[in-house]
Amino acid sequence: MSFPETRMRRLRRNKTMLRLVRETTLAVDDLVCPLFICPGRQIQKPVPSMTNCFYYSPDKAAQKAKQIAQLGIPAVLLFSQAREKDAAGSDAFAEDAPLQQAVREIKNNVGELLVATDLCLCAYTTTGHCGIVKDKKIDNDETCRALAKAALSHAKAGADIIAPSDMMDGRVAYIREALDENDFQDIAIMAYSAKYASCFYGPFRDVAGSAPTFGDRTTYQMDPPNADQALTEIQLDIEEGADIVMVKPALAYLDVISRARERFSCPIAAYNVSGEYMMLNLAAKQQVFDLDTAMMETLLSIKRAGANIIITYFAERAAQLLRGKS
Ligand code: PBG
């Protein structure tokens, strides 16, 4: 059947009809809110490169986490600055480092909120690379061993989900084994499986002070033209024990999210990264569009592509709107 029998506008006659036939809905349950941790006490200071984002010292992080939980957001994803950087990235696995402290504070005060921890060396190494550097090259297996050690320190602090973002080969297997050997078999792994070497991480690298001091990340992060390869990366991570897989960034890679959704049945997370966040903020500031409207349309596009978990700096604002508060 075709026009005039078929009229698509029948299903768009009014707002109630639109509600009835809506295929995708965004929910507060889909959101993960990133939190930036800094060393010190009683600190809450703005992140210069990112509108409405703040650093929190571990003690302050718990207060912030409580507000996030009250909005109904199920999880936070913690990032931290190092107290001091060195070649081995030691502060990544120190039990008293800010990230580990913040995990303890949050779990002690807001127990029901899931705490995921970003696991990487780039904020902790003097080179700013995600791995241990030997002769100007990233040593894959040595990095995996360091990551497994750091993952254990996160788990001991009480993390619910460990999220490796380094893109070393085999790291999920190393981390899973270390966790299981130490009785942390219930701690989940959310792997940054298809993480692209993207310019959209720019504002974030200022936050973590994690820009590489030489070269770039193209020997470990994925090359933007590749999508079949992303599916291989995801499959390998699932085989190694990842519980949740991730595509990052989200917007320039919606096709990858959608193909991953068709192929795999595990939860798929998408990371709406710092550059994507600032794109909307700056455009709205220039009156290109209304920020809330652009934000909701963007988050919905990520959900529609097939992500069931959306990590976004918009999480709190989106949750407010979804709960009907202005
Ligand atoms: C660390 C890491 C990065 C991001 C998350 N974890 C930066 C990078 O890989 O350079 C980016 C987050 C964002 O841009 O919002 N490996």
Condensed to tens digits (0 to 9), the pLDDT of residues 218-264 reads: 999 999 999 999 999 999 999 999 999 999 999 999 999 999 999 99
Q: What is the rounded distance in angstroms from the CA atom of residue 48 to the CA atom of residue 66?
A: 24
Atom of ligand 1 nearest to the CA of 79: 6
Hey, what are 143's tokens? Answer: 């990095």
Q: How confident is the model at residue 43 (pLDDT cuts 50, 70, 90)?
A: very high
Q: What is the mean pLDDT of residues 26-36?
A: 98
Instruction: Give me the pLDDT at residue 287, please.
Output: 98
Q: How confident is the model at residue 172 (pLDDT cuts 50, 70, 90)?
A: very high
CA angle 198, 201, 207 (to 5 degrees): 160
Taking residue 150's Cβ as centre, other Cβ atoms within 10 Å add up to 28
Q: What is the mean pLDDT of residues 20-38?
A: 98
- Ligand 1 pocket test: pick from 165, 167, 200 the residue with the most ligand atoms within 8 Å of its Cβ: 165
Ligand 1 center–CA 205 separation, angstroms: 7
Instruction: Give me the pLDDT at residue 212, please.
Output: 83
Atom of ligand 1 nearest to the CA of 313: 15
Q: Does residue 208 surpass a pLDDT of 80?
A: no
Q: Give the helix/strand (H/E) hosting 164.
A: strand 161-164
- What CATH homologous superfamily does 24-248 map to? Aldolase class I (3.20.20.70)
Instruction: Give me the pLDDT at residue 262, please.
Output: 98
Instruction: Give me the pLDDT at residue 7, please.
Output: 98
Q: Does residue 210 surpass a pLDDT of 80?
A: no
Burial of residue 186 (number of CB atoms within 10 Å: 0-12, 13-18, 19+): exposed
Q: Specify the higher pLDDT residue, 209 or 131.
A: 131
Q: What is the rounded distance in angstroms from the CA atom of residue 204 to the CA atom of residue 276?
A: 11
Hey, what are 304's tokens? Answer: 């529609």
Hey, what are 282's tokens? Answer: 């700056």
Q: What is the rounded distance in angstroms from the CA atom of residue 145 to the CA atom of residue 74?
A: 30
Residue type, 10: R
Q: What is the rounded distance in angstroms from the CA atom of residue 241 to the CA atom of residue 190?
A: 10
- Map tokens 């390998």 to a residue: 236
Hey, what are 77's tokens? Answer: 């994803």
Among protein residues, the one with the nearest Cα to ligand 1's atom 14 is: 201
Among protein residues, the one with the nearest Cα to ligand 1's atom 8 is: 201
Q: Does residue 214 surpass a pLDDT of 90?
A: no
Burial of residue 235 (number of CB atoms within 10 Å: 0-12, 13-18, 19+): middle
Instruction: Give me the pLDDT at residue 326, please.
Output: 64
Q: What is the rounded distance in angstroms from the CA atom of residue 94 to the CA atom of residue 96?
A: 5
| Residue 136 is a catalytic residue | no
Q: Is the pTM of this model over 0.85?
A: yes
Residue-wise pLDDT tens digits, 268-299: 999 999 999 999 999 999 999 999 999 999 99
The one catalytic residue among 248, 285, 303, 325: 248
Q: Is the dihedral of CA 87, 125, 243, 248 positive or negative?
A: negative
| Residue 248 is a catalytic residue | yes
User: Is residue 65 in contact with ligand 1, taking CB distance under 6 Å?
Assistant: no
Ligand 1 center–CA 178 separation, angstroms: 24
Domain map of the chain by residue range? Answer: 24-248
Q: Does residue 117 surpass a pLDDT of 80?
A: yes
Mean per-residue pLDDT over the chain, rounded? 96
Q: What is the rounded distance in angstroms from the CA atom of residue 168 to the CA atom of residue 84?
A: 23
Q: Give the helix/strand (H/E) hosting 65.
A: helix 58-70
In whole angstroms, what separates CA 198 from the centre of its chain? 14
The one catalytic residue among 195, 285, 303, 325: 195
Q: Does residue 39 surpass a pLDDT of 90?
A: yes
Q: What is the rounded distance in angstroms from the CA atom of residue 267 to the CA atom of residue 118?
A: 18
- Ligand 1 pocket test: pick from 125, 193, 201 the residue with the most ligand atoms within 8 Å of its Cβ: 201
Q: Kindly list the distances between the CA atom of residue 296 and the CA atoms of 19, 145, 198, in Å, as whole numbers in the listed order.
A: 16, 40, 23
Instruction: Give me the pLDDT at residue 17, please.
Output: 98
Instruction: Give me the pLDDT at residue 100, please.
Output: 98
Instruction: Give me the pLDDT at residue 186, please.
Output: 98
User: Is residue 120 in contact with ligand 1, taking CB distance under 6 Å?
Assistant: yes
Q: Does residue 192 surpass a pLDDT of 80?
A: yes
